[in-house]
Amino acid sequence: MILLAAVWIIPLLAIGGATLDRVLTDAVTRNFDGQLDFALDAMIAAADIGPTGEVRFTRPLGDQRFSEPYSGLYWQVSAKGQEAFVSRSLWDRTLVPSTTDCRTTCRTNDARFKDEPLRMVERDVALPGAPTRFHFQVAQSTADLDAQIGSLRSVLLWSLSILGLGLLALAALQSIYGLWPLRRVSQSIAAIRSGTATRVPEDFPREIAPFVAELNELLQHNDEQAEAARRHAGNLAHALKTPMSVLLGEARAGAPDLAATVESQTAIMRRHVDHHLARARATGRRAASASRADIWPSLEALARTIARIHTGRGTVIDVDGDKTLAFRGEKQDLEEMVGNLLDNAALYGGGRVFVTVSATAGNAVILIEDDGPGIPADERERLFERGARLDTAQPGTGLGLAIVRDVAEIYGGTVALGESEDLGGLAVTLTLPAAA
């Protein structure tokens, strides 16, 4: 930021300084030329023709320097074929007339005098009664002009330099002071990494406050993810502890039905592992992105697939409702939840499944109804427990509804069981956050 300010300030000051130098130099030069013009006009006004045709002055010129040898201020009147009429200040020197037509005032710089550059104004004038035009010249040493310009440039250079340094110092102060809160954020993050703090303090300027709030929310989210991972690991370890103890005890006791025990306990462990893996996958996908999945295409594809799987039962799945809704989450999780519900409806129903999609309060609601025997109200909540099954005659693991509820809750959704008013069987209401 300081370098950017320098790259901007220095060229602007240089351009401004060059422009101001040009303006001031021109003003001083015009003032210098104005004095020479005044002296030239005074010469012409005082000039007259003598008896022998020479030029003479009817009154002396006002500046005393014209009478002091080598004073730096000179005049001269010349004409073709006549001796030049010069000021006493020229002494033994003469001015060289310009070769151009000077009927209007000519301005030139003359360096013929050693160590004394001159600024000269000239004009050709026809005096009354004179047969020829006279060439009037007034010259002055530019030493004073150069000194004035040098003094102005020195003041200008120092002023702009001080101004530039002041502006750069202010830019540096603004950058250091303005970025200081970010240094505090860095220090707070270092404190969190070292374990001496858990969150970034919120006493920051309002420009930084949103960033700090988002950072703290990210830290909170990471803590929740870590806590969820620890909880999942603990739950899985606790769930596997009992089957492993049973297997170990049966093995040590040399039980005759050890094979059957191993098979049953391994099935239990598999259910627990599948459940926790499904929940962990959904949690990871939810943390990794904020995706969206169109609901209608997934429903149609799942309905065709489930109907083919259960074609021997004559299962018919009808889908109706809002075709534009989208789920604010991963397509894979949507299909896992809806696929489990449709498979249950086809497996335990009487052959008809009706799916309705609707929107309410910013959520997408998927209602799945079947014409099966339904489930008593006092048994519905128990079905969400891992491994719980009411009909053990049908194949399954008892994890479908538990996985559906876990994945839905990860996304902030819900799943509820009820009774279908139209088909008379079970009605499952899956509520999920809708995408914009």
Q: pLDDT digit string (tens) for 31-57? A: 999 999 999 999 999 988 887 778 888
Cα 168 to Cα 172: distance, rounded to the nearest angstrom:
6
* Confidence at residue 82, expressed as pLDDT on a 0 to 100 scale: 83
Cα 336 to Cα 326: distance, rounded to the nearest angstrom:
15
* Confidence at residue 239, expressed as pLDDT on a 0 to 100 scale: 66
* Confidence at residue 400, expressed as pLDDT on a 0 to 100 scale: 64
> What residues contact 257, with CB distance under 8 A and at least 6 apart?
none
**323 DSSP assignment:** S
Of 139, 138, 133, nearest to 55 by C-alpha is 133
pTM given for the model: 0.47
Is the pLDDT score of 240 beyond 80?
Answer: no
Considering only residues 101 and 432, tell me which one the structure prediction assigns the higher pLDDT: 432
Pairing of the two strands 316-321 and 352-360: parallel
Locate 96 and state its tokens: 């060289």
* Confidence at residue 37, expressed as pLDDT on a 0 to 100 scale: 93
* Confidence at residue 77, expressed as pLDDT on a 0 to 100 scale: 92
Locate 127 and state its tokens: 């005096």
Q: What is the CA radius of gyration of the chain?
A: 52
* Confidence at residue 355, expressed as pLDDT on a 0 to 100 scale: 94
SS3 at position 428: strand
Of 92, 91, 85, nearest to 125 by C-alpha is 85
Of 11, 18, 252, nearest to 153 by C-alpha is 18
- Residue with the two structure tokens 């703090």: 197
- Mean pLDDT rounded to a whole number for the chain: 85
Pairing of the two strands 363-370 and 118-125: unpaired
pLDDT tens profile 76-125: 999 887 888 999 999 888 998 888 888 889 999 988 888 889 999 999 99
Let me know if 30 is exposed, middle or buried by CB neighbors in 10 A (0-12, 13-18, 19+): exposed
% of the chain exceeding 70 in pLDDT = 91
> What residues contact 135, with CB distance under 8 A and at least 6 apart?
77, 78, 79, 97, 102, 122, 123, 124, 125
Of 31, 36, 81, nearest to 54 by C-alpha is 81
% of the chain exceeding 90 in pLDDT = 36
Give, in order, the Cα–Cα distances in Å from 261 to each of 251, 326, 388. 10, 46, 19
pLDDT tens profile 365-395: 999 999 988 888 888 887 777 544 444 444 4
Provide the residue type at 84 as one letter: A
Residues 273-289, mean pLDDT to the nearest whole number: 63
What backbone torsions phi and psi does residue 166 show, to the nearest 5 degrees? -65, -40
Cβ proximity of 355 and 303 under 8 Å: yes
Cα 268 to Cα 397: distance, rounded to the nearest angstrom:
9
